[in-house]
Structure 1
Amino acid sequence: MKALNLYGPRDLRFEDAPNPVLEHDTDVIIKVKVAGICGSDIHRYAKLGPYIKGMTWGHEFSGEVAEVGKAVTNVKVGDRVTACPALYCGTCEYCNKGEFARCEHLSVIGALNPGAFAEYVKLPAENVVKLPDEVGYDVASLVEPSSVVVHGIYKTSMEAGDDVAIIGCGTIGLLAVQWAKIFGARHVYALDIDDSKLELAKQLGADFGINTKDIEPHEKLFEMTGNRGVDIVVESAGSPITSAQAFSLARKGGKVVFMGIPYGDVMVKRFYFERIVRNELSVYGSWNAISAPFPGKEWQTTVHFMKEGKLNVTPMITHHLSLKEGPATFEKIINRDGHFGKVLFYPEK
Structure 2
Amino acid sequence: MKALNLYGVEDIRCEETVMPTIVNPDDILIEVKATGICGSDSSRYKKLGPYIKGMTFGHEFSGVVAAVGADVSTVNKGDAVVGCPAIVCYECEYCERGEYARCNNLFVTGSYRPGSFAQYICLPESNVLPMDEAIGFEQGAMIEPSAVVAHGFYQSQIKPGDTVAIIGCGSIGLLAVQWAKIFGAAQIIAIDIDDNKLTLAQQFGADILINSHTQSLAQQKEQLFPSGVDLAVESAGAPQTINDALMLPQKGGEVILIGIPYADMVIERQYFEKILRNELNVIGSWNGISSPFPGKEWKVTLHYMATGDLNVKPMITTRVALDEGPEIFDKLVNHKEKYNKIMFIP
Taking structure 1 as the reference length, the TM-score comes to 0.97
1:243 aligned residue: 242
Other structure's SS at 2:256 match = strand
**Deviation by residue 1:15-51 (Cα, 9 ceiling, x = unmatched):** 0111111121111110000010001111111122661
Report the Cα distance in structure 2 between the residues aligned to 1:214 and 1:282, rounded to whole angstroms.
Answer: 29
Matches of 1:320 and 1:83, distance apart in 2: 20
Percent same amino acid among aligned pairs?
54
* 1:44 equivalent in structure 2: 44
Preserved contact between residue 147 and residue 289 of structure 1 (Cα < 8 Å): yes
Structure 1: distance between partners of 2:108 and 2:333: 23
Separation in structure 1 between the aligned mates of residue 281 and residue 18 of structure 2, nearest angstrom: 48
Equivalent-residue separation in structure 2 for 1:319 and 1:265 (angstroms): 31
Deviations 1:305-329 (A, max 9, x none): 0000101100000101111111100
Letter of the 2:76 partner, please give it. K
- Which residue type is aligned with residue 280 of structure 2? L
Q: Distance in 1 between matches of 2:304 and 2:157?
A: 18
Q: For 1:83 and 1:320, how far apart are their aligned partners in 2?
A: 20
Provide the residue aligned with 1:279 in structure 2. Answer: 278
Provide the C-alpha distance between the structure 2 equivalents of 1:144 and 1:206, rounded to a whole number of angstroms: 22
Look up the SS of the partner of 1:134 in the other structure: helix
Listed as ranges, the matches of 1:198-237 within 5 Å are 198-213=198-213, 216-225=216-225, 227-237=226-236
Query: What's the counterpart of residue 121 of structure 2?
Result: 121
In structure 2, C-alpha distance between the alignment counterparts of 1:222 and 1:160, rounded to whole Å: 23
**In the alignment, does 2:252 pair up with 1:253?**
yes
Q: What residue in structure 2 maps to residue 330 of structure 1?
A: 329
Offset of residue 215 of structure 1: 5.5
* Contact 1:246-1:256 within 8 A present in 2 as well: yes
Q: 8 Å contact 1:10–1:49 — kept in the other structure?
A: no
CA-to-aligned-CA distance 1:246-299 (integer Å, 9 cap, x gap): 111111110000000111111111110111111111110000000000000100
> 1:94 corresponds to which residue?
94
Counterpart CA distance in 1 for 2:133 and 2:259 is 32
1:336: Cα distance to partner? 2.0
Residue aligned with 1:255, SS: strand
Match of 2:156 in 1: 156
1:265 is matched with: 264
Q: Following superposition, which runs of at least 4 residues in structure 1 exceed 6 angstroms of deviation?
A: none
Q: Which residue of 2 aligns with 1:313?
A: 312
Residue segments in structure 2 that go unaligned for 5+ positions in a row? none
> Which SS does the other structure have where 2:135 is aligned?
coil
How far residue 245 of structure 1 moved from its aligned partner, in angstroms, is: 2.4
Contact 1:166 1:188 in 2 (8 A): yes
Looking at structure 2, the residues matched to 169 and 222 of structure 1 have their Cα atoms a distance apart, in angstroms, of 22
Q: Which residue of 2 aligns with 1:112?
A: 112
* Structure 1 unmatched ranges of 5 or more: none
Residue aligning to 2:188: 188
Q: Distance in 1 between matches of 2:290 and 2:273?
A: 33
Counterpart position of 1:295: 294
Cα RMSD, aligned residues only: 1.1
CA apart distance, 1:221: 1.9
1:83 counterpart residue number: 83
Amino acid at match of 1:167: I
Distance 2:25 2:243 in 1: 48
